[in-house]
Amino acid sequence: MELKKILAGCADLKAKGNLEIEIQNITSDSRSVKPGDMFVAIKGFDVDGHSFVAKAIEAGAKVVLINEEAVQSLAGVIPEGVTLIAAKDTRVTLAQCACNFYGNPSRKAKLIGVTGTKGKTTTTFMIKAILEKQGIKTGLVGTIASYSGDKKLEDSDRTTPDSLKLQSLFAQMVADGCEALVMEVSSQSLKLHRVDGCDFDYAIFTNFSEDHISPKEHPDMQDYFASKVKLFEMAPYGFINSDDINTIRVPKMAPNCDIKSYGIDNECSLLAKDITITNSYVDFRVKINGKNERIKTCIPGRFSVYNSLAAICIAERMGCSTENIKAALEEVRVPGRSELVNNPLGLTIMIDYAHSPESLQSILQAVKSYTRGRVISVFGCGGDRDHGKRPQMGEISGRIADYTIVTSDNPRTEEPEEIVKDIEVGVKKTNGKYECIVDRTEAIKAAIKMANKNDIIVLAGKGHETYQEINHVKHPYDERDIIKNIMDELKK
């Protein structure tokens, strides 16, 4: 594509060189540069892409996009024949360039964005299930993977990909015939401009609680919340949880978005009543398309009611029939979200992605309400993330669970033992029974060996993940396989 077409709509640029040259590809990774490419230097938390401009040019980049502040320091690096573009913020410019380069695919389908501290993944899966039951081919981008209809495109390494990857995925989905695109929109993606240029039709805010407060994420809760609200400034229609004390502030903060609400306890546009929760499903009554209907979904827990309501809001706006809404919600399954694992011992073992204080409390309280025996909680906290939530989660598990096993999650570059000690501080504040087993496999084995058929084991934190990250290396680690191997070992 011609460079000036790629730059269309980009504001506050300064250019030196030919703007009519053809660009083969855009990349922000100098290692992937090929002759004729455009290289975009991104200043990250750990690495500054401006340090790799010379390497990108050596590899054949014909255009480099850099921040204004770096122009002087790179003056001697960029030779004649290479076009230099300077921007106030290369992240912002890259997002617009990506939209242009891939033909603005989000304008060619209905785009639904789901933000919130928890519930994003389940809600997006529910929306996709309903729309496809209605015959609307749907693409999905989220924490687990990206899908184009029934086809899995790739596993995800973050909730919302960078702008180049996102627009590439959208373009592929639209080319595949997707009429709707549903995506999880993280606070980081909004703050770091990954979704700039996306043409959202609908926005959903599931709930809000403390998470992602760290030097590499958000400095405080105010920044975290404000980042999420940006989604509603990008969409004409939105839906919020009327029972969440924070999300109800959104209409005043995004006055140009037509916002409706859903909930259980407070006045709202879509209200759930007569809720029944068991260890294998939840059902409730709600008015759909003007008539009272009974909805059942096989993802247990009160939070599943909220996620279902959010999905129903979208389904109604997109003309889905009551029959298709009911059938899809009963059939939908989400990897790593209240996922029950079949096993030869007949134990109730649930894998859940709960990795924040609120989500851990939610899942433990949910299973506590319907479990006849003990709740055995096995969890850890990720390294290089918010340290403050570690003792909080320890205290929550110690207070709610009948037995807690504190273990590792993704230690990343931290020492696993130190993370476990941070969590233990919180558990000690309670009278809860617990032990610390740093090796996660051994922790799971200990839980299985102590459980009986009336108990429930909650393996929290990993969810859909199939790896454990240690010192920047992702080692294969699928808890479903771990459980199977432990069972095989115990049978011997």
Assign residue 367 the CATH number of its domain.
Answer: 3.90.190.20
Do 43 and 176 fall into the same domain?
no
Average of pLDDT values for 363-368? 92
Residue 75 has pLDDT above 90, yes or no: no
> Rounded to an integer, what distance in angstroms lies between the CA atom of residue 306 and that of residue 288?
15
Do 92 and 108 fall into the same domain?
no
Do 229 and 211 fall into the same domain?
yes
Average of pLDDT values for 462-487? 95
Do 162 and 304 fall into the same domain?
yes
- pLDDT for residue 157: 79
Do 90 and 126 fall into the same domain?
no
Q: Please report which confidence band the pLDDT of residue 215 belongs to, taking 50, 70 and 90 as the band edges.
A: low
Do 78 and 117 fall into the same domain?
no
* CATH number for the domain harbouring residue 57: 3.40.1390.10
Residue 378 has pLDDT above 90, yes or no: yes
- pLDDT for residue 218: 66
Pick the more confident residue, 411 or 279.
411
Which of 65, 100, 135 delimits the end of a domain?
A: 100
Which of 100, 121, 143 delimits the end of a domain?
A: 100
Do 267 and 374 fall into the same domain?
no
Average of pLDDT values for 155-159? 84
Residue 430 has pLDDT above 80, yes or no: yes
Do 176 and 130 fall into the same domain?
yes
Do 129 and 86 fall into the same domain?
no
- Write down the pTM of the prediction: 0.84
Give the chain's domain count. Answer: 3
- pLDDT for residue 210: 61
Residue 212 has pLDDT above 70, yes or no: no
Q: Please report which confidence band the pLDDT of residue 439 belongs to, taking 50, 70 and 90 as the band edges.
A: very high
Range of the domain at 397: 339-491
Do 23 and 91 fall into the same domain?
yes
Average of pLDDT values for 373-379? 97
Residue 280 has pLDDT above 80, yes or no: no
Do 161 and 62 fall into the same domain?
no
Do 77 and 156 fall into the same domain?
no
Flag the least confident range among 87-96, 361-370, 474-483.
361-370
Flag the least confident range among 40-49, 97-106, 258-267.
40-49
Average of pLDDT values for 91-99? 98
Q: What is the mean pLDDT of the chain?
A: 94
Which of 305, 331, 357 delimits the end of a domain?
A: 331
* CATH number for the domain harbouring residue 309: 3.40.1190.10
- Half-sphere exposure (Cβ direction) of 72: Cα atoms closer than 13 Å: 1
